[in-house]
Structure 1
């Protein structure tokens, strides 16, 4: 039976977990910085961020204010971690590649009825603000463009990418954090995509879609960095409370 290959962030998370188990990084010690780890593993910072979040979810590391990421415990002896599936950065990389080309193809064949439907979705997106309806409108927007290609396989693949976003535990965690930080679909960026589609300009549609999805990646980087800071601040607050309690004895 074919065993699916592990995702890149999973392999890195497992390598770091193995280093912890082997004693290279003991509980209480600081891990190398994100940039250093990216150089060591020859991967991007988003991939390292996904690996760190996966280890945090497993309770193996934590952020400490102004200091970095520290090991909290060694991995359980049972072996590999639970499958966390696709991370948001990996998913978005695939969307940039695939949906950019889908937008270019749609620009050559999209019908006026679909453009009108996209206009209505943009109105819904603008009115939804930070409510869950904004995400629903975002999903409908991208599926309409895929449908506008006139290719059922393209439509199915884009729908699959959205299903991954809504079902992968790591994806759900990261996008949920972004929403809690107030990150919502940017209507102006979506409008630029529609403008390029209406102009029947494949290159402009491709560039607008890719620029939009790259901004999503930037938002995710910022939101997950805020999460690390918040965790560190919570730990610092708890430490101050413990010190104050001991001082009052």
Structure 2
């Protein structure tokens, strides 16, 4: 199945060729493309990442997106060759986060009903490890993958606490998809300041507090809010056009289900 970002990315690539853009020309902003194609900015962001990986454009932090000359970028394609999209199995980073939000919120709710004292102790230990990993980072820079490993372990342990191997496997597969995604790595590579991770610890604290109380609805909402926070943070920190973007364009079509 062709994903929406692939369709939009191909249309942008066709417009680059059809409208006579030359290497170094600045493309319209994400907001302009979102309005033109009637899609969210996350879809355009993913389309630009696809084009960047294909060697069609260069994304410059704080400046915008520019057309590449053949061989100018890290991507393998040239403007004279057929555009090679991201691998068919690759999922856009924001689509992936949305899937995690839906799945992991339900898993957290299930875990709250069956979590054991040993699960709680292990989750508390992981939170302490996350804090230590962030304290030892310099200037908020993620010099090692220790914070990410602790974050992942926290989420996977919640899935294990659901006592359902299928749910645990579903969460694990989503994280594995992220780890092998070139689009995720490219998005993450745009981000230099990782101090925002400290605020994610507060989210984890709220999730753990709900698990301790066996509050299923609260655990669902805390996990939903946490991943929503992650989506907004990554979107803002990877923005190349205008940090003051219209938030409604990002959340359009992402409605919180009634509980």
Which residue of 1 is the match for residue 257 of structure 2?
none
Which residue of 1 is the match for residue 103 of structure 2?
98
1:107-128 deviation per Cα after TM superposition (whole angstroms, max 9, x unaligned): 1111111111100100111101
DSSP-derived class of the 2:58 partner: strand
DSSP-derived class of the 1:59 partner: coil
CA contact (8 A) 2:54 2:83 kept: no
Which residue of 2 is the match for residue 88 of structure 1?
93
* CA shift for structure 1 position 216: 1.0
Which residue of 2 is the match for residue 71 of structure 1?
67
Q: 1:105 to 1:25 in 2, by over 3 A?
A: farther
DSSP-derived class of the 1:225 partner: coil
CA contact (8 A) 1:13 1:55 kept: yes
For the pair shown, the structure with the greater C-alpha radius of gyration is: 1
**Cα distance in 1 between the residues matched to 2:203 and 2:227:** 9
1:129-156 deviation per Cα after TM superposition (whole angstroms, max 9, x unaligned): 1432111111110011111111111100
- Structure 2 unaligned spans of 5+: 71-77, 138-143, 243-259
Which residue of 2 is the match for residue 167 of structure 1?
180
Q: Which one of the candidate residues 108, 114, 122 is aligned to 2:119?
A: 114
Number of residue pairs aligned between Structure 1 and Structure 2: 222
**Cα distance in 1 between the residues matched to 2:184 and 2:64:** 23
1:21-45 deviation per Cα after TM superposition (whole angstroms, max 9, x unaligned): 2x22522544332122112222211
Q: 1:76 to 1:70 in 2, by over 3 A?
A: closer
Bigger fraction of residues in helix: 1
Say whether 1:135 aligns with 2:148. Answer: yes
TM-score, structure 1 as length reference: 0.80
Say whether 1:14 aligns with 2:26. Answer: no
